[in-house]
Amino acid sequence: MDLHVRYEGDDDPKKCSARKLARFDLAELHRSARATPTGIVLNPFAEQALAPGDAAPTADEPGFEALVALDCSWETAEREAFDLRGRHRALPFLVAANPVNYGTPFQLNTVEAFAGALCILGERDQAEAILSKFRWGHTFLELNAEPLERYADCANSEEVVAVQQEYLDAGEE
């Protein structure tokens, strides 16, 4: 899948995983929403969870060969910033492995979001390839091995949410 980033540039450039992906020609950065291609938009405010069939065409929409992420600081991530064209989907429960948010659920950086989405969509080899550029990349897949496998086996968003709920309930015990 093609990886595209709506790039805000409001975080530390030395720690920016989107910029590093772009340096290795693994993702393309876009400075405006209009220039960002249509695709599956990874949006934490989306009402529907990402599921394995989301890249496939539906009666209403074409299939999507692109994943789109917004790269911005978590402090400035607002619903309006995700005004991008495409099929908006939220990632389910996953734990960050990056040094800034290590162990924090739902606080993924851009490469982790892409890798999680790629695994759910059945593109694990591509997920491993992009994570290989980061010292801690393999840790993301290790920390999230079971949920990523279970999400990838789901038939639809409702099943993904049910699996996610099991992890959330287990965390409350």
Residues that constitute the known binding site for S-adenosyl-L-methionine: 17, 70, 91, 110
Is-contact 138 121, C-beta < 8 A? no
- Measure the CA–CA gap between 98 and 155, rounded to whole angstroms: 29
> What is the rounded CA–CA span in Å between residue 127 and residue 141?
9
CA distances from 94 to 35, 111, 156 (A): 29, 13, 18
Binding site: which residues?
17, 70, 91, 110
Main-chain dihedrals φ then ψ at residue 162, nearest 5 degrees? -65, -45
DSSP secondary structure of 51-97: -GGGGS--SSS----EEEEEE--TTT--GGGG--SEEEEB--S-B--
**Distance from C-alpha of 161 to C-alpha of 96, rounded to nearest angstrom:** 19
